[in-house]
Amino acid sequence: METILFLSNTESDGTLSKTAYETLTAAVDLSKQLQATLCIGLFGMKTQSAADSIAGCGAQRFLAVEGADFSQARYASDAAACEALSRASAATLVIAPQTSRLSRVMAGVAHRLHGEIDTHINGLTSDGTLKANRCFYRQRIEATLSRGVRPWVLLIEPSSFVAWSGSASAVTVESIAVTLADASLRTTVEGMITPPAEQQTIRPDAKLLFVAGAGWTKKQKDGQPHLAEAETAILDFLKNTNASLGSSKSLVDLSGEGQAVLGFLTHLNQVGQTGATPRHPKGLSTCCHGEEPHVVGWRFITDRRAINLDPNCGWARGKADVLYVADAFEVMAKVNGMLAAEATIREETAPAVHG
Ligand SMILES: Cc1cc2nc3c(=O)[nH]c(=O)nc-3n(C[C@H](O)[C@H](O)[C@H](O)COP(=O)(O)OP(=O)(O)OC[C@H]3O[C@@H](n4cnc5c(N)ncnc54)[C@H](O)[C@@H]3O)c2cc1C
């Protein structure tokens, strides 16, 4: 019988990340399918409240490596904690979230355990034998993997499962002691440098992906480009909706070629074959042609809409659910006006707070 270890770090505030809760769903579902023993392994500065929050997940054991030495993302201490938790649980399957912190260490941990690892897993099934699904070649090829080697470490891709929710209560956590040599503590994280919130345009948790294409920079019907208006239209929409900003390759490449473009876009915003494959319930493409190398990045966008002047653009050829054949400058000005009016009404009707 398999023993499944759900393995995760806790965040700096002692909670579990959204990706960790999604991964827990994968581990819980699999334990039911395989009738396997489920163990929880947590590490970080504090773990008790995170363990309590998932008390109802059906785990037989809760194990933790806890303390200041394990609060920072550092290869040596993270790998030691993950190895100790895997050994203490005698896990045959280790299921962990595909976060940057765990991705960095789990291949090494699998090696230390004489096991094997597969990453970017987006589905788990069993017909008696465990099968793990992942995509290759920019999500164009779907593969089903199985392995005889144990332990088998599986990193679960974010947004592949619904986040686990269930009852919380006080659980007994078994503390696993890990002693670190001085050499394992040499690296320290001195701080985090992140862009200000308004410049942080890539928002993986957003409900909507807003894609800007090269059309925003092209000459419009008056024979002139309108970059300033394009910038205002896009940024106002992002501010009003908290949407995540994607781009076509053509638009981000223009900045590389030194042309005047929208300053807030980088190659990190690029969606497509040589860009990202984000996951959002809805997507709105504007001034983007909808060519296959771009649209392949929309694989996980459920409801797709596009605004384009050209009724024969790629989106019209079965790539979008709805195509608005219209001028995106005009449409977005109207939409932003409506969103701003709605925000004003919300502010006016919000109950006053008396200090
Ligand atoms: C190997 C390879 C890999 C690639 N990888 C990627 C990738 O990862 N991502 C990617 O995006 N591309 C990729 N491409 C490029 C891709 O094929 C297209 O060239 C690119 O997506 C085109 O970008 P675009 O639609 O923004 O620009 P354009 O093709 O220039 O389209 C601009 C569109 O804007 C519309 N438009 C203009 N003004 C308005 C207006 N006022 N209102 C509404 N619509 C308007 C026009 O009708 C036009 O359809 C790749 C290509 C290759 C060969």
pLDDT tens by residue, 195-218: 666 678 999 889 999 999 999 999
Task: Indicate the pairing of strand 93-97 with strand 3-9.
Answer: parallel
| Model pTM score | 0.79
291 lines ligand 1 (CB under 6 A): yes
pLDDT for residue 323: 98
Distance 236 CA to ligand 1 centre (A): 22
Residues 275, 249: contact at Cβ < 8 Å? yes
CATH fold match for the domains 3-185 and 197-349? yes
287 lines ligand 1 (CB under 6 A): yes
Domain 197-349: give its CATH superfamily.
TPP-binding domain (3.40.50.1220)
Break the chain into its structural domains and give their ranges: 3-185, 197-349
Q: Give 309-355 pLDDT, tens digit per residue.
A: 999 999 999 999 999 999 999 999 999 999 999 888 877 777 665 54
Positions in the chain whose pLDDT score sits under 50: 355
Question: Whose CA is closest to atom 23 on ligand 1?
Answer: 250
CATH architecture of residue range(s) 3-185: 3-Layer(aba) Sandwich (3.40)
252 lines ligand 1 (CB under 6 A): no
pLDDT for residue 355: 45
